[in-house]
Amino acid sequence: MSDATLGSQLLAIARHAIGEALGLDHRAPDTTGEALHRPGATFVTLTQAGRLRGCIGSLEAWRPLLDDVRANACAAALRDPRFPPLSADELSRTRVEVSLLTPATPLNFATEADALAALRPGVDGVILTCDGSRATFLPQVWEQLPEPRQFVAHLKQKAGLPADYWSPRMALAVYQVDKWKEAP
């Protein structure tokens, strides 16, 4: 199956899952293809007029890709704590993006400067963990925060830490994504 075919399927599956959860009648998407039944980790991002409307995902592949994208689409639409649940009348003006994550790889570094130098803007998604706090930014976030120091400072804040916080216990892992987005 080509990447374009997989992407089209994942977008259709995500939109259908949201429509079904909102009680709208949508034609069931094609769910054939071996790739959809292998474990996969996805994030589903919803936007309206270019602005974030919901984003929920999985960092590890622990269930079939088909199930992961369905669950994350519904969670992004209905359970992202930053937004009220999506209403049925909003769905037609909501754009869906699906990001398929590679497995995360721990980043080895001794200092914050080493960590910042190792990051690849626009390429790496980053997972930060420290003392029970955890947060991630997809690679797409580099578009708004292109400088590594700024990117990591905002990631720390997302994890509930001060922007200037540093600890030798801080761990970073990186991953990449294949992403597909509905046309406006």
pLDDT (tens digit per residue) in 30-44: 888 899 999 999 999
Candidate CATH numbers 3.40.50.2300, 3.30.420.40, 3.30.379.10, 3.30.700.20; the one for domain 3-101: 3.30.700.20
Candidate CATH numbers 3.30.70.100, 2.40.50.1040, 3.30.1490.150, 3.90.1720.10; the one for domain 105-176: 3.30.1490.150
CATH 3.30.700.20 domain position(s) in the chain: 3-101
- pLDDT value of residue 25: 72
Sheet order of strands, 171-175 included = 105-107, 171-175, 125-130, 133-137
pTM metric for this prediction: 0.93
| Packing angle, helices 65-78 and 3-21, rounded to 10 | 50
With a pLDDT cut of 90, the percent of the chain lying above it is: 91
Is residue 119 within 8 A of residue 126, CB to CB? The reply is yes
